[in-house]
Amino acid sequence: VSTPLRKSAPRKRRARGSISADEILQGAYDLASEESLDALSMPRLAQRLDVGVTSIYWYFRSKEELLDTMTERAMAEFDRAMEISGDLRWDDYLRTYFTEFREVFRRNGLLCDLIVMRTGNLTDEATRIAAQRIETVLGRLVAAGFSGDSAAYAYASLSVYTRGALFLERNWAASARPAVMAPGAFGDTPGLTVLTSVQERHHLSMTGEEDFRFGLENAIRGLRVLLEDDTAEPCIVAARTAAPAGLVGP
Amino acid sequence: VSTPLRKSAPRKRRARGSISADEILQGAYDLASEESLDALSMPRLAQRLDVGVTSIYWYFRSKEELLDTMTERAMAEFDRAMEISGDLRWDDYLRTYFTEFREVFRRNGLLCDLIVMRTGNLTDEATRIAAQRIETVLGRLVAAGFSGDSAAYAYASLSVYTRGALFLERNWAASARPAVMAPGAFGDTPGLTVLTSVQERHHLSMTGEEDFRFGLENAIRGLRVLLEDDTAEPCIVAARTAAPAGLVGP
DNA sequence: ACCTGAACACCGTTCAAGT
DNA sequence: ACCTGAACACCGTTCAAGT
């Protein structure tokens, strides 16, 4: 934004009922969608709506309140995008659910900025929508044999993991740094044996497709053991959970 | 900050060699440490150092560059705080490592803001320090029998999970919202059977002590299976990895 | 009841000097 | 070579009006 914000002649005064909260919300959503959430400022929004800046404050007490309302809409949109098939076993369901979870937010940066990057700022309505969706997942896990608590923990850990991956990827993309240490960067540093040997296939951002898949699969593997432990024969359980002695490092 | 920033008489001009990059860095670090990273602004920093605002720009091209340098220092501090005992089996080591990882950042908000919340903005030097630390962990995993790739994936997933938990917790704390839906909030909403039944023990922030522990333990459980699969008898492996046929969705 | 511009207290950064 | 204030283009928000 290099040119001054306002150069044209002053606007005509608008009629009394010519603005609405919905119109402002839509304008804000469109502006953020077309450019970015960072680009959304009260003056820019007012300009786009051809409205005095201060008029917005009659409908939204603060920018924060506007963002919260935008998040509500975003949550509804996210919810609509998250229709997962019901014909899946619990592990396939979880894999599909969180893969889609990640993909939806990766495809729609605004949803990611509003919901993932601003967690904790959910309105009651947004929370209600999210809770409804989470309940569906928990229900499936319980149906598969998990206790309510285990299901809640399972969901929480996968949700935290997925949102963590999204957060890191988005933060990484936002920084204009040059790919952070080009391939082979550790080639000359002494002592980085393992890192050097895998640096062709692993990126330090830890945010790649393969990375995410591994963590998701690994967590599901852990859950599988957790679930089976309640029903499997003693010998297998013992073999599965007993950790080999020794093998301790320096 | 309700009182105007400057009200006292103008400063005397400072001598030629009276400022240094180190002094500015230290001042910035102290200011952010005492208040918060959000409270660190160029004018506030200049005021604290009793220096003209623009003087800072002779030593740091931008605020971003200053933050990057602060992050370098923070990374060194974090590294010092992360001395994990070597007398641990790989799974105990991972548990201790990432528990400590989380605790250090939870105890020191500035470290968290600089390193976790601004990932992707690491300088080469900060990256070097981090790589060194990661290499140590990978080395232990490899010594325990993991392949280099598996070790890298394992580290990445646990790191993403832990940083995700830190990010969410910090974001949650930053929002001034009232605990987000008090306990019993779902009591009247129809259809939230599971959520209602566990809401005494589970918080929607998914960021509690128990939540983190479960995810960490579950991931380690997954890794244990992964590691054992390479060495265990065929029958157990089959029972462990074979997925029941059918039941696959679209 | 709704819409408004001017004004306030901030930002980060640049410029054209000063010494 | 270093330090500087004034100025610029922004913010979000408040106030005292206007209609």
How would you class A115 by CB atoms within 10 Å of its CB: exposed for 0-12, middle for 13-18, buried for 19 or more?
buried
DSSP A87: S
pLDDT of residue A249: 32
User: What does strand D contact on the protein, if contact means CB under 7 A?
Assistant: A 1-5, 13, 40-44, 53-54, 57, 61-64; B 10-11, 13-19, 51-55, 57-59
Does the beta-carbon distance from A218 to B118 stay under 8 Å?
no
* Alpha carbon separation from B247 to A88, A93, A149, A229, B33 (Å, rounded): 6, 10, 25, 22, 55
Tell me which chain A residues have a C-beta less than 8 angstroms from the C-beta of B84: none
State pTM to two decimals: 0.90
Asked if residue A250 has pLDDT above 50, the reply is: no
Mean pLDDT computed over A187-194: 79
Query: CB neighbours of A11 closer than 8 A, spacing ≥ 6?
Result: A50, A51, A52
Mutate to test the interface with B, among A115, A205, A206, A207 (most CBs of B within 10 A): A206
pLDDT of residue A176: 61
**pLDDT, tens only, A129-153:** 999 999 999 999 999 999 999 999 9
Query: How distant is C1' of C1 from CA of B180, in Å?
Result: 33
Structure tokens at B71: 């992050």
Residue with CA nearest D13 C1'?
A62
pLDDT of residue B177: 65
Which string of DSSP letters, residue by residue, matches A26-63? HHHHHHHHHS-TTT--HHHHHHHHTS-GGGHHHH-SSH
Closest to A120 (Cβ–Cβ): which among B164, B171, B193? B171
Name the A residues in 74-93 with CB < 8 Å from any B CB: 85, 87-89, 91-92
Q: Which nt is closest to the CA of B58, judged by C1'?
A: D2
Residue type, B19: I
Mean pLDDT computed over A157-177: 92
Which string of DSSP letters, residue by residue, matches B73-121? HHHHHHHHH----SSS-HHHHHHHHHHHHHHHHHH-HHHIIIIITTTT-
CA-nearest of A188, A198, A134, A185 to A160 is A134
Range B65-102 burial, b when 16+ CB lie within 10 A, else e:
ebbbbbbbbbbebbeeeeebeeebbbbebbbebbeebb
Asked if residue A185 has pLDDT above 70, the reply is: no
Mean pLDDT computed over A236-249: 39
Higher pLDDT, B213 or A247: B213
Closest to B214 (Cβ–Cβ): which among A157, A204, A221? A157
Chain A closest CA to B174's CA: distance in Å? 8
- Helices A90-107, A209-229: axis angle to 10 degrees equals 150
Q: How sure is the predictor about A239, in pLDDT bands with cuts at 50, 70 and 90?
A: very low
pLDDT of residue A3: 52
Q: How sure is the predictor about A175, in pLDDT bands with cuts at 50, 70 and 90?
A: confident
Closest to A214 (Cβ–Cβ): which among B144, B157, B206? B157
Tell me which chain A residues have a C-beta less than 8 angstroms from the C-beta of B122: 177, 180
Which string of DSSP letters, residue by residue, matches A172-234? HHHS--SSSS-TTTTTTSTT-HHHHHHTTT--TT--SHHHHHHHHHHHHHHHHHHHHHTTS-H
CA-nearest of B146, B148, B140, B133 to B100 is B133
Tens of pLDDT along chain B (250 residues) come to 345 554 456 678 999 999 999 999 999 999 999 999 999 999 999 999 999 999 999 999 999 999 999 999 999 999 999 998 889 999 999 999 999 999 999 999 999 999 999 998 899 999 999 999 999 999 999 999 999 999 999 999 999 999 999 999 999 988 866 555 555 567 567 789 999 999 889 999 999 999 999 999 999 999 999 999 866 545 444 444 444 333 333 3
Does the beta-carbon distance from B194 to A243 stay under 8 Å?
no
DSSP B43: H
Higher pLDDT, A173 or B215: B215
Query: How distant is C1' of C16 from CA of B65, in Å?
Result: 24
**pLDDT, tens only, A93-122:** 999 999 999 999 999 999 999 999 999 889
Q: Which nucleotides of C are covered by protein (CB under 7 A)?
A: 1-7, 9-16, 19
Mean pLDDT computed over A223-237: 71
Q: Taking CA atoms, what residue in B is nearest to A247?
A: B144
pLDDT of residue B232: 57
Gap between the Cα atoms of B227 and B150, Å rounded: 9
Half-sphere exposure in the Cβ direction for B14 (13 Å, CA)? 14
Q: Which nt is closest to the CA of B53, judged by C1'?
A: D4
pLDDT of residue A189: 75
Mean pLDDT computed over A169-198: 76
Query: How distant is C1' of C12 from CA of B118, in Å?
Result: 19
Asked if residue A184 has pLDDT above 70, the reply is: no
Query: How distant is C1' of C9 from CA of A5, in Å?
Result: 20
Is any atom of nucleic acid chain C found less than 7 Å from the CB of residue A55?
Answer: yes
DSSP B178: S
Query: CB neighbours of A80 closer than 8 A, spacing ≥ 6?
Result: none
Chain A closest CA to B9's CA: distance in Å? 33
Tell me which chain B residues have a C-beta less than 8 angstroms from the C-beta of A97: none
Does the beta-carbon distance from B149 to A201 stay under 8 Å?
yes
DSSP A120: T
Gap between the Cα atoms of B104 and A248, Å rounded: 25
How would you class A86 by CB atoms within 10 Å of its CB: exposed for 0-12, middle for 13-18, buried for 19 or more?
exposed
Tell me which chain B residues have a C-beta less than 8 angstroms from the C-beta of A139: 193-194
Tell me which chain A residues have a C-beta less than 8 angstroms from the C-beta of B88: 248-249
Whether A202 has its CB under 8 Å from any CB of chain B: the answer is: yes
Does the beta-carbon distance from B177 to A120 stay under 8 Å?
yes
Gap between the Cα atoms of B239 and B245, Å rounded: 13
Lowest mean pLDDT among A37-41, A148-152, A202-206: A202-206
pLDDT of residue A229: 80
* Alpha carbon separation from B63 to A71, A229, B49, B82 (Å, rounded): 30, 54, 15, 28
Gap between the Cα atoms of A42 and A10, Å rounded: 17
Closest to A127 (Cβ–Cβ): which among B132, B162, B181? B181
